[in-house]
Amino acid sequence: SQTIHQWPATLVQPVGSPLSLECTVEGTSNPNLYWYRQAAGRGLQLLFYSVGIGQISSEVPQNLSASRPQDRQFILSSKKLLLSDSGFYLCAWSVNREKLFFGSGTQLSVL
Amino acid sequence: SQQGEEDPQALSIQEGENATMNCSYKTSINNLQWYRQNSGRGLVHLILIRSNEREKHSGRLRVTLDTSKKSSSLLITASRAADTASYFCATDAVGGGADGLTFGKGTHLIIQP
């Protein structure tokens, strides 16, 4: 069966520090991969999506970047975190857009 | 920008009552989906309704879709305390490409025991 792993669950980072969040998917090949951010009490904002290795599309200009070094690995990074980068980050995968499978999320606090 | 907008933002009812949440959207869609999120967790897919469908059932869930009004509703019957969560609608827009779904801001549902 398919599973998605996202870590860490919580992260507290100082302003200006780097960031690396990792997401891996098991049990499926060539999935579409997504990074969403959710501000407190708000909906989900799509940050990046990828349809294949090395293929990254960005939805909003920001301080973050994403990479897909392997078929089932998706990484969210930043060289220097800002206060506004705080939020709940969710990785997701799908085969088509009829169902997204989400990871358990990472709560990032930038102080 | 947000495609789906849920209404109400928050809903508190007694256990056993029915809970109804609404979603409005702006553009033509292929399908509309409802997801559930427990506090501090990822979202879980509940149900999908296609643009050519008007109503769909899954267990205690009933979803309706009115494409002329660009709206959908999610009904949870005989609510339980475990139904307490946030519920999001998400739309798959026509011509949206591979860039995923567009989510609303959610309805926070509280079931009072």
Residue pLDDT, tens place only, B27-76: 999 999 999 999 989 999 999 999 999 999 999 999 999 999 999 999 99
- Cα-Cα-Cα-Cα torsion A32, A101, A20, A63, nearest 10 degrees, comes to 70
Cα(A9)–Cα(B69) distance, integer angstroms? 40
- Per-residue pLDDT for A102 more than 70? yes
Distances (CA, A) of A91 to A32, A36, A44, A102, A109: 11, 6, 11, 6, 17
For residue B98, what pLDDT is reported?
63
- CA of A79 to nearest chain B CA: how many angstroms apart? 25
Task: Write the pLDDT tens digit of every residue in A5-51.
Answer: 999 999 999 999 999 999 999 999 899 999 999 987 778 989 999 99
Q: Rounded distance, CA A92 to CA B111, Å?
A: 28
In the numeric block, which tokens belong to residue B98? 């591979």
Instruction: Confirm or reject contact between A53 and chain B (CB < 8 A).
Output: no
Tell me the pLDDT of chain A averaged across its residues: 92
Q: What DSSP assignment string belongs to chain A?
A: --EEEEE-SEEEE-TT--EEEEEEEES-SS-EEEEEEE-TTS-EEEEEEEEETTEEEESS--S-EEEEEETTEEEEEESS--GGG-EEEEEEEESSTT--EE---EEEEE-
Q: Please tell me the distance from the alpha carbon of residue A10 to that of residue A43, in angstroms, as a whole number.
A: 19
Going by pLDDT thresholds of 50, 70 and 90, the confidence category of residue A101 is very high
CB neighbour list of residue A86: distance below 8 Å, 6 or more residues apart = A108, A109, A110
Query: Taking Cα atoms as reference points, which of A25, A26, A22, A29 lies closest to residue A8?
Result: A22
- CB contact under 8 Å between B43 and A94, yes or no, is no
Question: Mean of the per-residue pLDDT values for chain B?
Answer: 92
For B49, the 3-state DSSP assignment is: strand
The percent of residues in chain B predicted with pLDDT above 70, rounded, is 93
In chain A, what residues touch B35 (CB-CB under 8 Å)? 100
pLDDT grade, residue A1 (50/70/90)? confident
Beta carbons of B112 and B11 less than 8 angstroms apart: no
Q: Which of B31, B43, B102 sits opposite A102 (nearest CB)?
A: B43
Strand A19-26 relative to strand A3-7: parallel, antiparallel, unpaired? antiparallel
Judge whether B109 and B60 are in contact, CB under 8 Å: no
| DSSP state at residue B27 | S
In angstroms, the separation between the Cα of residue B92 and the nearest Cα of chain A is: 7
Using DSSP bridges, classify how beta strands A10-13 and A106-110 pair: parallel, antiparallel or unpaired.
parallel
Q: Six-digit token pair at B77?
A: 């019957």
